[in-house]
């Protein structure tokens, strides 16, 4: 089957939106049944884009998603849909988080950059797979809140930063894996430069609030990159301090 997903899949995806660090979330038994039901319900978005990586599914079981959404919206935390987190941003729906994590193919040797911390949920998922997670958020209140939330939940090895993710995190580059959780008009050249040979980047690309495509970018040992268009998505736009 072609990877060009149907309009039905696009509507389902909505808007954006083994183990390294084992957090104290493992001891958080409240709403565990809801997490289990959610993970059981995850399948995929097409026959060739199934969510079947056991490590990714285990990571979703370990992270209490309700701790990453606003208090008044916690009843929506385990529904497969995006949830607003303020400042015009969302926490991506679990299907999208799981799919992007699986496409990134993270293992415990990898150094990973996330662009767009949001509430911190995707970073917490990645921290189940590797101890080397770096996450950057341009919106200062979200960056501050996510840093405190991750610390309170025991994710002490996640490195957080407030800044413009378009330019990546050059002081910590290069990265084996890069995940971008907001839609860019194009693939940012600084992120390509900071991707290691044999690295992978997962990024939605397209116009603000328009038709976007989730893309997998790979770099070979010679430094050449290839891109693969996977399926239509709709994410909030990547914010940059420099208009482009």
**What is the radius of gyration, based on Cα positions, of the chain?**
16
DSSP 82: -
Check if 92 is active-site. yes
For the chain, how far is it from start to end, CA to CA, in angstroms?
36
Phi and psi based region of residue 23 (left: phi greater than 0; alpha: psi -120 to 50; beta: remaining): beta
Length of the chain counted residue by residue: 244
* Exposure string for 41-55, b = 16+ CB within 10 A, e = fewer: ebeebbeebebebeb
Which one of 6, 23, 41, 92 is the catalytic residue?
Answer: 92
Q: How many CB atoms lie within 10 A of CB 1?
A: 8
Alpha-carbon distance of 239 to 99, in angstroms, equals 23
Alpha-carbon distance of 122 to 167, in angstroms, equals 19
Alpha-carbon distance of 67 to 180, in angstroms, equals 22
| Cis preceding linkage at 174, omega within 30 | yes
| Catalytic positions, written as ranges | 92
């Amino acid at each position: 089957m072609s990877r060009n997903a149907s309009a039905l899949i696009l509507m389902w995806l909505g808007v954006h939106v083994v183990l390294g660090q084992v957090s104290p979330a493992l001891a958080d038994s409240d709403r565990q049944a809801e997490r289990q039901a959610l993970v059981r319900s995850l399948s995929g978005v097409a026959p060739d884009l199934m969510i079947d990586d056991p490590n990714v599914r285990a990571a979703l079981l370990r992270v209490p998603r309700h701790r990453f959404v606003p208090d008044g919206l916690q009843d929506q935390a385990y529904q497969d849909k995006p949830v607003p987190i303020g400042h015009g941003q969302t926490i991506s729906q679990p299907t999208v988080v799981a799919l992007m994590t699986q496409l990134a193919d993270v293992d415990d040797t990898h150094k990973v950059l996330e662009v767009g911390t949001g509430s911190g949920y995707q970073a917490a998922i990645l921290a189940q797979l590797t101890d080397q997670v770096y996450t950057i958020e341009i919106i200062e209140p979200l960056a501050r809140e996510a840093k405190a939330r991750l610390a309170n939940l025991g994710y002490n090895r996640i490195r957080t930063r407030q800044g413009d993710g378009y330019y990546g995190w050059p002081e910590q580059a290069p990265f084996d894996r890069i995940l971008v959780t907001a839609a860019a008009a194009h693939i940012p050249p600084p992120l390509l430069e900071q991707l290691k040979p044999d690295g992978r980047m997962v990024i939605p690309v397209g116009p603000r609030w328009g038709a976007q495509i989730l893309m997998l970018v790979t770099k070979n040992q010679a430094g050449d990159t290839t891109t693969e268009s996977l399926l239509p998505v709709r994410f909030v736009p990547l914010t940059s301090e420099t208009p482009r």
